[in-house]
Amino acid sequence: MIISLLMTTISCIHKEKSPCIVIDIEKTINKVTSGNFTLNDIAREMHLIPIETNDSVLFRDIIITGIIDENMIIHGGNIGAFKRAIYFINRIDGKVSSVIDRHGRGPGEYLNIGDISLNKESNTLYLSDYKKINEYTFDGKYINSIQNDSIGMFKMLHDGNFVASYYPSANTEFAFGIYDSDWNLKRKGIPRAERGRKFDMIYFDGIFEFNGDFFYKMAHCDTLYRITSEFDEPYLVHSKGKFHLPVEIEASLEKTEKYGNQYIQHDFGQLLSKYYFLSYYYDSKLYKEIWNIETSSLIYKSIFSRSGGVNGIPVIIDEKKVYVWPAFVSKESLYCVIEGEDAVALIPTLTEDSNPVILEVKLKDT
């Protein structure tokens, strides 16, 4: 069984409570945008954060999962121990401020990091592992656990409630739920699409925070829903038309490998201010696009494949050009991971074995 955290595509039928933003990918899939665009054009401030490198801080990969005060929260594979820990990285100098490293099977420990959410009022962190959610202080002290064998992705809402999606194996009739602070179900979300259908791949529904609001993206659905404790509403739609992947193909790994390249797959977007950063695969190529959601217009596109092309947005720092793409967006900034020779080009004192550099960008409209 192949496990993938991919937000895939099938149209959802749902009564809209407010007009949706429509991103017309079908119309623009062959459109070529200006080759002069750079991230500098929409940025008002940029800052490089070289993550410190030492024997106990070596990353195989990095997932940025939150911003709290002066710290950036990341987790990833630790090369030395091949285990996952959560690091609080100072956003000014890249030094490690604190670490939550409780990998294991005992009380207060976790085997995997499913999702992370922050309680900024109590300065605690929630971590979902299989069948449980652990709570820790920011310096790694274990507080307690909630047993739950169905929660997948989740986030704490501004009012202290939680929104949570579910593991596919839970086979719930609804796509997500709103829970109180004690994890009692308060409200059921929208009906789950394709409930009961068997897929050769396992897909997880995503919960995100963009522009200070919370959003839900169902696997097998083209709609991004905005969520509060009281209601959910369609907010943005990926319109794919003839490039929409039929569920009969998506459900079969064999058919996906044979026919999938004819359709748009694995589309995923992030919102910051009026900009929507969208990536997807089509025709064995990786597309990365920037849309203005106020006008539903495409302003930048890159296309990359095994034979070459451009992968990401060009950014010029100290007269050096590299290509980047947002790995995480907060309420005010986007964050890009820069590694290897690109990192060395920007900071010559680094080596290609150094930990990645994070580019923090504040946009002009934030």
How does residue 204 score in pLDDT terms, banded at 50, 70 and 90?
confident
CB burial of 344-353 (b: ≥16 within 10 Å; e: otherwise) equals bebeeebeee
pLDDT digits (tens, 9 = 90+) for 134-143: 999 998 999 9
Where along the chain do its domains lie? 2-363
Report the pLDDT value the prediction gives residue 196, as an integer from 0 to 100.
60
Looking at the predicted structure, is the pLDDT value of residue 178 above 90?
A: yes
How does residue 111 score in pLDDT terms, banded at 50, 70 and 90?
confident
Looking at the predicted structure, is the pLDDT value of residue 257 above 50?
A: yes
pLDDT digits (tens, 9 = 90+) for 10-58: 344 344 445 689 999 999 999 988 778 999 999 999 999 999 998 878 7
CB burial of 148-183 (b: ≥16 within 10 Å; e: otherwise) equals beebbbbbbbeeebbbbbbbbeeebeebbbbbeeeb
Looking at the predicted structure, is the pLDDT value of residue 344 above 60?
A: yes
Looking at the predicted structure, is the pLDDT value of residue 346 above 80?
A: yes
Choose among 147, 132, 206, 199: nearest CA to 169.
Answer: 199
pTM (2 decimals)?
Answer: 0.90
Looking at the predicted structure, is the pLDDT value of residue 186 above 70?
A: yes
Choose among 108, 115, 65: nearest CA to 88.
Answer: 65
DSSP state of 246: P
Choose among 261, 223, 224, 269: nearest CA to 245.
Answer: 261
By three-state DSSP, how is residue 249 classified?
helix
HSE (side-chain half, CA atoms, 13 Å) at 268: 16
Q: Decide: 47 and 258 in contact? Cβ < 8 Å.
A: no
Beta-strand runs (E) in 41-82: 43-50, 63-68, 71-78
Share of the chain above pLDDT 90, in %: 67
- According to the CATH classification, is domain 2-363 in 2.40.10? no
Looking at the predicted structure, is the pLDDT value of residue 203 above 80?
A: no
- Cα–Cα distance measured from residue 328 to residue 325, given in angstroms and rounded to the nearest whole number: 9
pLDDT digits (tens, 9 = 90+) for 124-169: 999 988 789 999 999 899 999 998 878 889 999 999 999 999 887 7
Report the pLDDT value the prediction gives residue 289, as an integer from 0 to 100.
97
- Cα–Cα distance measured from residue 30 to residue 293, given in angstroms and rounded to the nearest whole number: 19
